[in-house]
Amino acid sequence: VLHLPFKRLVQKSKFKLKKCFIKNLTWLGVGGQASLFKPEDVKDVCDFVKYNEYVVIGAGSNIVGPEILTKPLVRLGRAFNYITIEGQKITAGAATLDAYVAKFAMENSLSGLEFLSVIPGTVGGAVAMNAGAYGAEISDLLVCIKAVNKFGEVIEISSKEIDFSYRSANLPKDLIIIGATFFVKESNSKEIKSKMISLLKLKQDSQPIQTKTCGSIFKNPPNQKAWQLIDQAGFRGFCIGGAQISEKHCNFLINNGNATSQDIQDLCFAVRDGVKSKLGIEMEFELVIL
Ligand SMILES: Cc1cc2nc3c(=O)[nH]c(=O)nc-3n(C[C@H](O)[C@H](O)[C@H](O)COP(=O)(O)OP(=O)(O)OC[C@H]3O[C@@H](n4cnc5c(N)ncnc54)[C@H](O)[C@@H]3O)c2cc1C
């Protein structure tokens, strides 16, 4: 009979972990070395979670990577990149890009997911963050998710069982979403396409989406706009090292090319504390500092 810690070691060694740099796996482009596990299929996910602690990432569009991460990263690959359709229900693997899901729905004259065309992440990340834009969010259309829990069991969770709020799904941190089903409405693909084009224009005109960034830094406090508070507190264009508050949209930060993870974090905390001391308003992070 194997002693449990030894059994764990033996189990761990059968998983192929690759060396990676977090900066290469995230939009913001900061973060040091880590190990990466890319499961080939659902069984791989189930086996891995039973014996390891981990951090799951999608497209890394909402993540500030640390210089050191001791837990391995789990990033779902090809087997989780698919879309199927059944009547008015679209099911997508968690690694599928949001933009592909939006395009697929448009091509099939199904409406509701247009906003996903302007969110640069994966389906897993969109559910975990309750991603949304221009008045719509994932929880409006989600029917259910399939996920792997920390015991390595595949479970289905109905949308009604998830405690969604603004940019949060309140799911356990160690739950790995592997797929999601959305309910969509029949519509006209031309209308859907023109809506997607106008959303993209709004986005391009108001946010620094062509730069190394990570989406909104803070959630909007109730009845307030985070960008206005940051602007009022005098932080538009504010820099620490290579990290800067965008001139174009104050609730976005930019890596000017040589920012370190520390620069980004120092900037985020300086702005949060500055808004609190100057305006008395507490802001909550939307971006995920790993
Ligand atoms: C230019 C730009 C514009 C953006 N605009 C918007 C916007 O309009 N609206 C909006 O809501 N967001 C926006 N974002 C933020 C970001 O794109 C979303 O939060 C997106 O949903 C994150 O998806 P991701 O796959 O990149 O997740 P990641 O950034 O990799 O991870 C985000 C969180 O989700 C978790 N996660 C990821 N995959 C899984 C999974 N399979 N199972 C469980 N948990 C998982 C991670 O652990 C992490 O906590 C923007 C970002 C950028 C860079």
Q: For atom 37 of ligand 1, which residue has the closest CA?
A: 125
- C-alpha 45 to ligand 1 mean position (Å): 20
Positive or negative, the CA dihedral 137, 140, 143, 147 is positive
For the chain, state the CA radius of gyration. Answer: 20
- C-alpha 11 to ligand 1 mean position (Å): 31
| Cβ neighbours for 285, distance < 8 A, ≥ 6 positions apart | 217, 218, 219, 268, 272
| Cβ neighbours for 11, distance < 8 A, ≥ 6 positions apart | 47, 50, 51
- C-alpha 216 to ligand 1 mean position (Å): 10
- C-alpha 62 to ligand 1 mean position (Å): 5
Please say whether the beta carbons of 49 and 66 come within 8 A.
Answer: no
What integer pLDDT is reported at residue 156 of this predicted model? 98
- Cβ–ligand 1 distance for 179 under 6 Å, the answer no
Pocket test for ligand 1, best of 57, 209, 210 (most atoms within 8 A of CB): 57
**Cα distances (angstroms) measured from residue 76 to each of 124, 131, 170, 226, 232:** 9, 19, 21, 32, 41
**In the 8-state DSSP scheme, what is residue 82?**
-
What integer pLDDT is reported at residue 7 of this predicted model? 44
CA 127 to chain centre: 8
Total-model pTM = 0.94
Q: For atom 10 of ligand 1, which residue has the closest CA?
A: 131
Measured between alpha carbons, how far is 48 from 151 in angstroms, rounded to an integer?
10
What integer pLDDT is reported at residue 1 of this predicted model? 37
244: nearest Cα among 256, 233, 234, 232:
256
- Please state the φ and ψ torsions of residue 195, each to the nearest 5 degrees: -65, -40
Is 261 an active-site residue?
no
- Please state the φ and ψ torsions of residue 253, each to the nearest 5 degrees: -115, 160
Low-confidence ranges of the chain (pLDDT < 70): 1-13
| Cβ neighbours for 95, distance < 8 A, ≥ 6 positions apart | 58, 75, 76, 77, 78, 80, 81, 122, 123, 124
State which ligand 1 atom lies nearest to the alpha carbon of 63: 29
State which ligand 1 atom lies nearest to the alpha carbon of 120: 17
Is 286 an active-site residue?
yes
Is 198 an active-site residue?
no
Which residue is it, tokens 């100057």?
278
Pairing of strands 83-86, 73-75: unpaired
Residue 193 exposure: Cα atoms within 13 Å on the Cβ side: 7
